Structure 1
Amino acid sequence: MPARPTHWLLKSEPHVFSFDDLWSAKKRTTMWDGVRNYQARNFMRDSMRPGDPILYYHSSCDVPGVVGLAEVASDPYPDPTQFDASSKYHDSGSDPNDPRWMLVDVRAVRRLPRVVTLADLKGERRLAKMAVVQKGSRLSVQPVTEAQWRIVLELAGVDG
């Protein structure tokens, strides 16, 4: 059985929820709601643990890339938006006794001294297998190896 992933990359469109939004949140923490992809849900539900480090990635913008560091701040729990009829993430088929969608809380840790752009990631041969650089990779929650984590921090100018 493969080891549980312990490092992550979370994608967010900055016009929807930027790293600055997370940084400005109460206790720099928010729930990572609205995920409606089963593989991403499974990562949050089955693999993410409090304290796991996160690369915060801005997508669908002029310069996509890793902009900050965060951490998983809670155990997984049901995404309340699935039960809220006024939410764009409402799922009328989800049963409160057996919720379909899970989430974790995410806490901002630090801004990076420089953005590690998608071009930077693609240009680094040691990151050739990183999920975010793969053609067609659209998953908003992705595992990152410890080696990939260290390389991204190196590219950002962060020690350790």
Structure 2
Amino acid sequence: MGQYQRILAAIDQSALSEQVFATALGLAKSQGAHLHLAHCFTLPLPTNLDFGDRYRASAKEFLAIAQEQMDATLEHTRQWLDTLEAQAQEAGIEVSWDWRGGEVGPQICDIAKQYEADLIVIGRRGRGRLQTALLGSVSNYVLHHAHCSVLVVQHSNDKKNPQP
């Protein structure tokens, strides 16, 4: 048995997420660990202007459109997570997944705690200081608030690190 028995991979549908998944999958395989995939999405916060200006519709019509969009997004996300689950199973890894809406950093920490993760694998996009100050950093939040170890997979910027 390895050092890690319960690995949580915090993933979204970005290219960096593919690296996070591959890293977590490799660790789970080498450690004989269970892998848990966690995906969080932020819910839109409509304002009064959204109803009239953006959708030229009433609140009832806005909610119907928003529900359709959310249903389509959730179905696409479920299929994506099912595909990753199948890939992990093909590699001989025990795997499960969860998704949640809300503020991503706190949700990842909550999922990790409930799952009793030994390790969280998460990506870092490498935003500049100004973007991080304005937008925040999920990986930074998780690094400072998680109850367990955190492995941060750095986004490789092709301009900074050209491939031969």
TM-score (norm 1): 0.29
Structure with bigger gyration radius: 2
Please identify which structure carries the higher strand content: 1
